Structure 1
Amino acid sequence: MNKTNGKLTVAAVADLHVREDTASSYRDLFSEISGAADVLVIAGDLTDLGKPKEAELLAADLRSCAVPVVAVLGNHDHESGFADDVCSILLEAGVHLLNGQATEIDGVGFVGAKGFAGGFGRYMLSSFGEAAIKAMVAESVDEAMRLENAMRQVRAQRALVVLHYAPIAETVIGEPPEIYPFLGSSRLAETIDRFHVDAVVHGHAHRGTYEGRTPGGAPVFNVAADVEKPTGKPYALLQV
């Protein structure tokens, strides 16, 4: 185990985008993480097109991971309409797959939800106009409520929030500003700041920025595999 000063070492990564037509494997990476961390967190886009075969390949690679795995789905995992099958395969592989739930591991509450788009701060989309816009805002609100309900389940003194979409604009900086509204929503940060949270991880913004904070001061980390991290690895290492 890698606990330091009573803290849990968490390896966090996102946007693995496992494909069925590639020869690449994450087995060596997961084996490496097992020697460096107590828990592996995958913050969405586990698969590239949300196909069951992709989930099966990921499940096979995860056999080399000797530590608990916590994950949420991302938008890519919904692409082919088989999200339920993807979930079933990963749950059977032992993944703690969260969608508005919390799980406790060694004294840390892991809280997971996919999140959704909607924009940030004063540029956040409002529920006005066409039904399609109102439906989009409703989905954003529903995801924030799903996160809040999960936060209320936490009994541990320490908590780590796992999202796919970003809760703040700071960690999507580097992406084209025109697509910021599609990368996350401040509604998620508003929910997070109503609770004690030690850290937040997300992905989705592949060209974003590694670190930021919610308005309430909770540290947020963009752990998308392509984002540069202090480890120099595709994953971040956090002490929680």
Structure 2
Amino acid sequence: MEDQNKKIRIAAVGDVHVRESDKGKWIEYFKRVSQEADVLLICGDLTDTGDEGEAQVLAEELKACSIPVVGVLGNHDYEKGRHKLIRQILQNNNMSVLDGEALVIHGIGFAGVKGFGGGFDGHMLSMFGEGAMKAFVQEAVDEALHLDRALARLDQEHENIKKVAILHYAPIKDTVIGEPEQIFPFLGSSRLAEPLSRRNVVAAFHGHAHVGQLEGATSSGVKVYNVAKQILMKAGYEFPFYIFEV
């Protein structure tokens, strides 16, 4: 049985945007992560243009990573409609890509969804008007429900488990501040924050907003981290991954 008091080091990054020309570029990165953490989270935009060739490059680079890798897809991974193939390639190469599922690693429960937009707080879009607008809002509602169910499943199957959420889109406004306010509705949705608070999540990690803030919190105090690679690099991280201990 694992020591319940042992601290588990979670490394998190988002928006790696791997290209087919990146062969060999990530090997030292993944070796370094493996030395400093017990599990790696990749918060979406695994590929740059949603091409399966890019996913194959990432899969090869991940062979240098000797710790478990868990992630979610991002909007870039959906660009060419090949997201299912991208997910399959990575899952066939020892990366767990979550889409409304959950798993337990080192006694920590991880639940993941891509998430979606819709805006924050009092400025969330409502399910009113044209069918296209209702469909946009419904997508965010569905993603929040998938996240809630995954977290609930962890509670049902594992008593008093500590839970971590993996997203691509932001669940709060604080971590996207710095981006143009006009595009806030496309960067995330407060609907994603509700399951985090309801299920007493320890922390949530997301990407998507390349300009924003590294740290924030939900109204109930759940810690939220925007770990987009671009933000970590701007903050001075030589190897852009954020370490969080649980």
Bin of the TM-score, shorter chain as denominator length:
over 0.9
Higher helix share: 2
Q: Work out whether 1:159 is the aligned partner of 2:177.
A: no
Q: Work out whether 1:100 is the aligned partner of 2:100.
A: yes
Which has the higher mean CA deviation after the structures are superposed, 225-234 or 61-70? 225-234
Matches within 5 A, 1:3-82: 6-22=6-22, 25-82=25-82
- State the alpha-carbon separation in 2 of the partners of residues 212 and 4 from structure 1: 27
Q: TM-score, with normalisation over the residues of structure 2?
A: 0.93
1:112 — aligned with what? 112
Root mean square deviation of aligned Cα: 1.6
Matches within 5 A, 1:81-230: 81-154=81-154, 155=158, 157-228=161-232, 229=235
- State the alpha-carbon separation in 2 of the partners of residues 112 and 62 from structure 1: 20
Contact 1:230 1:236 in 2 (8 A): no
Contact 1:120 1:184 in 2 (8 A): yes
SS in 2 for 1:11: strand
Query: What displacement does 1:141 show?
Result: 0.4
- State the alpha-carbon separation in 2 of the partners of residues 196 and 230 from structure 1: 31
Sequence identity of aligned pairs in percent?
A: 48
Query: What displacement does 1:5 show?
Result: 5.2
Contact 1:231 1:237 in 2 (8 A): no
Structure 1 residues 128-174: Cα deviation after superposition (integer angstroms, max 9, x where no partner): 11111001001110000110111111125211100000000000011
Contact 1:202 1:223 in 2 (8 A): yes
Report the count of equivalent residues.
238
- State the alpha-carbon separation in 1 of the partners of residues 114 and 89 from structure 2: 18
Q: TM-score, with normalisation over the residues of structure 1?
A: 0.95
Contact 2:23 2:57 in 1 (8 A): no
- State the alpha-carbon separation in 1 of the partners of residues 129 and 76 from structure 2: 28
- State the alpha-carbon separation in 1 of the partners of residues 4 and 231 from structure 2: 25
Contact 2:167 2:207 in 1 (8 A): yes
SS in 1 for 2:231: coil
Deviation above 2 Å: which 4+ runs of structure 1? 21-24, 228-233
SS in 1 for 2:195: helix
Query: What displacement does 1:23 show?
Result: 5.4
Structure 1 residues 51-73: Cα deviation after superposition (integer angstroms, max 9, x where no partner): 11000000000000000000100
SS in 2 for 1:117: coil
Structure 1 residues 9-43: Cα deviation after superposition (integer angstroms, max 9, x where no partner): 01100000011244562111000000000001000
Contact 2:29 2:239 in 1 (8 A): no
- State the alpha-carbon separation in 2 of the partners of residues 66 and 167 from structure 1: 30
Query: What displacement does 1:6 show?
Result: 1.2
1:236 — aligned with what? 242
Tell me, which stretches of 5 or more residues in structure 1 are unaligned? Answer: none
Query: What displacement does 1:102 show?
Result: 0.5
Contact 2:208 2:228 in 1 (8 A): yes
Query: What displacement does 1:234 show?
Result: 1.1
Note closer, same or farther for the CA distance 1:107–1:230 as it changes in structure 2 (3 Å cut). Answer: farther
Query: What displacement does 1:44 show?
Result: 0.3
SS in 2 for 1:148: helix
Tell me, which stretches of 5 or more residues in structure 2 are unaligned? Answer: none
- State the alpha-carbon separation in 2 of the partners of residues 46 and 111 from structure 1: 17
- State the alpha-carbon separation in 2 of the partners of residues 7 and 185 from structure 1: 31
Query: What displacement does 1:196 show?
Result: 1.4
